[in-house]
A and B are shown apart, each in its own frame.
Chain A
């Protein structure tokens, strides 16, 4: 153990850590309520072969429960288990351990681990706690038969998990398992998956604390390759996302926004290299939501909608010469041959390979993973893209691609139309209490002819100011007589945290509303 004279354990004064900030609608590395490992693969034929490691970390001082779900590369969930994390805890997981020996991380909450054998806590970690429903912690190793079934499901073979149906792509590589992983903050232990009733909602299993962080490594010891990156962070804000919002788990909550999780982007830009120091070429790793139900299917068939195409796929070289791998335009017949390099939910594809035959050695790709023009519209379409460039037999690098376009832009109402902001108001304020904001749409909307699809608002601290983010989606009908009132536009509401006395400014788009704390009266600012 290394130690220097300058190091000593310090008897720190414990205080409660503030919850991590939520910086919504950006693919950033802030702690989040959900982590996504976008793609994994484990070579089971070789104990020293390719594997995927990841860590689940708790950024807060309070204990949390992390619910880990393994999904096949066709988005069928196969296994769910819980990881108890004390404050500031780290749990690392090698997916090889799960698939080969059925070993799950052995953690347990206070009631199941009063002596802190499995989940010790540190000096800065808040009190150990217990969660309901966790009698199964620490988890026992999976039976060998279950581990075998998992292997079969994740390699595209018939699996007893699904009455000998299939759940993944059969690449004729029975010893290689593939898929992706989600990790959600939860309120209690459960075997439910995000697609199950009861997982989200007011009484649901899933929580909203943005406290999880972590990373992942794709390691190939034999090939002497490794790549690493942060797990994709998906922040939650149940106030910001509501009915009609596009969310990460939107398909599983039928667009209700009940998951409260920010969506990912559809448009991405990735560089590729096949030469120079990187003579091993470039692979893309792409996770994308799928338009089919996440259930098993008879082997030899495929889910309806598989393989997925994409709305746009441009290949540029470094002198901006461009080729279109596929394109779609209203009114123009689509190309007769459409590439589908990202057919499933978790994909890895070689740029320049048969699935993505780019004619250049160097350049970049522009992708839009929204559905192709002749595919049914998918209000939940989203994705994540990363790239891995390799030097043959020597080294490799991997990192997230660049996302283009907004994640939560106002034009993304899945139904209805986004309404322009008309008025921002703050109610009376009291020192030590939150300030309450309301946001009203601009215009007059008859209550009998207007359906409020979604009205959501979120507040972020911005120095001494507050920055509001609001989205109101309205669907109007002109059939029949509309009542002559203007109260149909609804309002979005959101609150700050507790405020000390002082002067503050709330900003929403071009609107700026300065207000006092305390104040017996509210105030408003109206769009011109």
Chain B
């Protein structure tokens, strides 16, 4: 082991000066510690153990112990699994979604359940603690075979016995499990999800400390490509968001009880299909249906699904600013959005998102007028992945054009 040229004499003073998490600067999609992390899209190829998977990390920016409540959601917004991760001060917990879907949850435990620090050791600058409600939940036992079956089937769009034979996701028929993940700082262990009563509020499960940070990687070992990005940071400021739109608004009504900043609604993203990036551009997305989604009878998805394509809210530019606008003149059919679900991945230039140019950028207003979706705004997140076939790829967050706190209400391109 390589040794640093170090000084070890200063431990006590260090305790006083390690930076604390930043003060919340809400309404900006910035990379700061937050009360909620969003993995906007994951995919795990269940055909091959060496196939595509998604890794993520959950980190604690504070010296105090924290409890992170992880919830898996299908790509149609149905929660399928909730579990807790105990983090000592400055801790890191990495997760491979392939492991989670196979029933292997990260084994962490708070002080009372891990007095010898065999599962959650702590460093010299870190504090240990115990949280209520964690008996029987920490350290988590491996999931039962029935639960594993439920997870793998649910996230592929198949019926699940644990959902009384109902479905919860898009059935794309490619043996890829998809969905998204939320991670909330929590005050107590729980099996609740943000969609459940009692999750938010003064006595609720969810906390408001902006201490979580982390990243995620979409890895395709066989294809030799990977992309990484920060988990979306959603800061909490309960005083500011009381009675206002929030990230979890659909679950707390208009109360703002979750205190979480909302995400933007309009995005700009470059696309490339040539030059160094012969593999083109994919977009990964997360969007809010504003519906408390439930399992559904298979082949009868929620009424909002698929989101319609809002022609007038999409502009495709080339690099010389020539715009192309998907449109029709009369008797317009309702077309399926390129972003039909709550989470997904779409190739720019594919049949789902045709573009007439090789290079340029997209103006994408992700709000929707789907009848089943409450107005006025549907928050979203968008990321771009540019790939060189068989060689390399890059991925990063697209550019929000507005703020979830002040959604753009009029397109700059058309009179509404």
Contacts and interface: CB of A to CB of B under 8 A. Distances in A.
A402 B213 contact: yes
A269 B94 CA distance: 16
A397 B227 contact: yes
B407 to A, nearest CB: 9
Interface stretch (A39-47, A309-317, A494-502): A309-317
Contacts of A486: none
A7 B57 contact: no
Given A12-B323, A122-B320, A389 B228 contact: yes
B4 A315 contact: yes
B396 A399 contact: yes
B406 A463 contact: yes
A420 interface: no
A287 interface: no
Interface stretch (B22-30, B76-84, B140-148): B22-30
Interface stretch (A173-181, A251-259, A342-350, A361-369): A361-369
B22 A404 contact: yes
A129 interface: no
A397 B228 contact: yes
A29 B399 contact: yes
B406 A461 contact: yes
Instruction: Sort chain A's interface into a size bin.
Output: 35 or more
B170 interface: no
A320 B91 contact: yes
Nearest to A352: B2
Contacts of A406: 22-23, 25
B interface: dominant SS: loop
A61 B412 contact: yes
Interface residues of B, number: 106
A120 B276 CA distance: 24
Contacts of A391: 224, 226
A399 B215 contact: yes
Contacts of B124: 320-322
Contact of A357 (B4, B319, B355, B361): B4
A226 B397 contact: no
A110 to B, nearest CB: 14
Contacts of B30: 26-28, 403
Nearest to A390: B226
Interface string B4-15: 111110100110
B61 interface: yes
B28 A23 contact: yes
B400 A30 contact: yes
Given A23-B403, A359-B4, A405-B22, A319 B315 contact: no
Interface in B51-103: 55, 57, 59, 61, 88-94
A239 B132 CA distance: 48
A90 B315 CA distance: 15
B174 interface: no
A171 interface: no
Interface stretch (B38-46, B158-166, B291-299, B386-394): B386-394
Interface stretch (B149-157, B181-189, B324-332): B324-332
Contacts of B400: 28-30
A123 B406 CA distance: 27
A319 B14 contact: no
B139 interface: no
B399 A230 contact: yes
Contacts of B179: none
A115 interface: no
A412 interface: no
B268 A403 contact: no
Interface in A374-402: 389, 391, 394-402
Nearest to A356: B4
B270 A90 contact: yes
Nearest to B127: A320
A53 B224 CA distance: 22
Nearest to B316: A7
Contacts of B324: 7, 9
A124 B361 CA distance: 13
B277 to A, nearest CB: 8
A227 B384 CA distance: 12
B372 interface: no
Interface in A301-357: 312, 314-327, 329, 332, 335-337, 339, 352, 357
Interface stretch (A193-201, A217-225, A421-429): A217-225
Interface in A110-129: 120-125
Contacts of B197: none
B6 A26 contact: no
B395 interface: yes
Contacts of A339: 4-5
A61 B414 CA distance: 12
Interface in B94-124: 94, 121-124
Interface stretch (A13-21, A69-77, A450-458, A474-482): A13-21
Contacts of A10: 323, 325, 327
A2 B22 contact: no
B226 A395 contact: yes
Given A13-B415, A120-B321, A400-B230, A324 B14 contact: yes
Ranked nearest first, the 10 interchain pairs of A and B with the lowest CB-CB distance are: A320-B123, A397-B228, A228-B394, A122-B321, A17-B412, A26-B28, A10-B325, A226-B392, A335-B7, A26-B30
20 contacts: A2-B356, A4-B354, A18-B412, A57-B268, A91-B319, A120-B320, A124-B321, A217-B394, A226-B391, A312-B19, A315-B4, A317-B123, A319-B91, A320-B121, A324-B14, A357-B4, A359-B3, A364-B59, A400-B31, A462-B406
Given A55-B270, A61-B412, A358-B2, 13 more contacts: A6-B335, A7-B324, A10-B325, A26-B28, A28-B29, A30-B400, A53-B276, A269-B213, A312-B17, A312-B18, A320-B121, A335-B5, A337-B5
